[in-house]
């Protein structure tokens, strides 16, 4: 079983839609959870990170962690064509960062 | 603040040839990482340095890959001889230190195609 599982998509939505991106993880060691965004031909950039269960908001983005079910989610409200990218979930414990496969998101105008 | 710098951005080589990638981390970042990202997959850690010492190289194919970080700043990743399956993006990243709460910042990557 992979440490972080993520549906690769692609996920295609119309502009303005609410997007839900999801990951599951194994191994419950002390850890942070992160979402990175990766545009085509670019390196990953950190969008959000959280440690505790619950929600964390940043503008149109909300990260949600449910440690009891080992589920992490990223919600994007009012999605824009500029949100089209690959979204990578990751967990970090100590100095180790483990990524999921990434979900390709396409927002159509 | 300047980000993580990598070069070259793109490289095409024939199998069995060698290639080297260079990385300059964010100033003051003690921890440096090299990740390999194959198309359609998430980045996979190859090697991690803390200053100029290796912390984790458990997933580095040591028969063909080598990396060094002399003087605890810049780093070089070398592949010799290259195989077709080495075609990937090689991402350098850095962080202030190894603690869980420290953000890892990535460069734009070096894209390798082996033909």
Q: List pLDDT tens digits, range B70-100.
A: 888 999 999 999 999 999 999 999 998 877 6
More confident residue, B108 or A50: B108
- Contact criterion met (CB < 8 Å) for B41 and A102: yes
List, in order, residues 6 or more apart from B53 with CB less than 8 Å away.
Answer: none
A-B Cβ pairs (cutoff 8 Å, strict):
61
Task: Determine contact: B103 vs chain A, CB below 8 A.
Answer: yes
Residue B106 pLDDT exceeds 90: yes
Question: What's the gap in Å between the CA of B49 and the closest CA on chain A?
Answer: 10
- Name which of B11, B5, B10, B3 is nearest B82 in CA terms: B11
pLDDT tens track for A16-30: 999 999 999 887 666
3-state secondary structure of B64: coil
Q: Which pLDDT does position A29 carry in this prediction? A: 67
Of A43, A92, A94, the CB nearest to B108: A43
Residue A58 to residue A78: CA distance in whole angstroms: 13
Q: Which pLDDT does position A50 carry in this prediction? A: 85
Which residue on chain A is closest to B104 by alpha carbon? A46
Which residue on chain A is closest to B5 by alpha carbon? A43
pLDDT > 90: percent of chain A: 65
Q: Are A72 and A66 within 8 A, CB to CB?
A: yes
Which residue on chain B is closest to A51 by alpha carbon? B101
A64-92: average pLDDT: 93
- Contact criterion met (CB < 8 Å) for B42 and A93: no
Radius of gyration for the alpha carbons in chain A, expressed in angstroms and rounded:
13
Contacts of B40 in chain A (CB under 8 A): 8, 101-102
Contacts of B56 in chain A (CB under 8 A): 95-96
């Amino acid at each position: 079983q992979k440490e972080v599982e993520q549906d690769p998509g692609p996920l295609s939505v119309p502009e303005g839609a609410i997007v839900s991106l999801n990951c599951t993880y194994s191994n419950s060691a002390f850890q942070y959870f992160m979402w990175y965004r990766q545009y085509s031909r670019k390196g990953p950039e950190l969008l959000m990170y959280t440690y505790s269960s619950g929600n964390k908001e940043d503008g149109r983005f909300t990260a949600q962690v449910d440690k009891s079910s080992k589920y992490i989610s990223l919600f994007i409200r009012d999605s824009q064509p500029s949100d089209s990218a690959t979204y990578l979930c990751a967990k970090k414990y100590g100095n180790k960062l483990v990524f999921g496969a990434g979900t390709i998101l396409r927002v159509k105008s | 603040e300047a980000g993580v710098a990598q070069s070259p951005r793109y490289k095409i080589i024939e199998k069995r040839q060698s290639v080297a990638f260079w990385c300059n981390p964010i100033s003051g970042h003690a921890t440096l990482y090299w990740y390999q990202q194959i198309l359609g997959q998430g980045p996979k850690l190859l090697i991690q340095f803390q200053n100029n010492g290796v912390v984790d190289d458990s997933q580095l194919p040591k028969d063909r890959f080598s990396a060094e970080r002399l003087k605890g700043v810049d780093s070089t990743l070398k592949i010799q001889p290259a195989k077709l399956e080495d075609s990937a993006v090689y991402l350098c990243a850095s962080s202030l230190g190894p603690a869980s709460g420290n953000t890892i910042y990535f460069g734009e990557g070096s894209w390798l195609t082996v033909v």
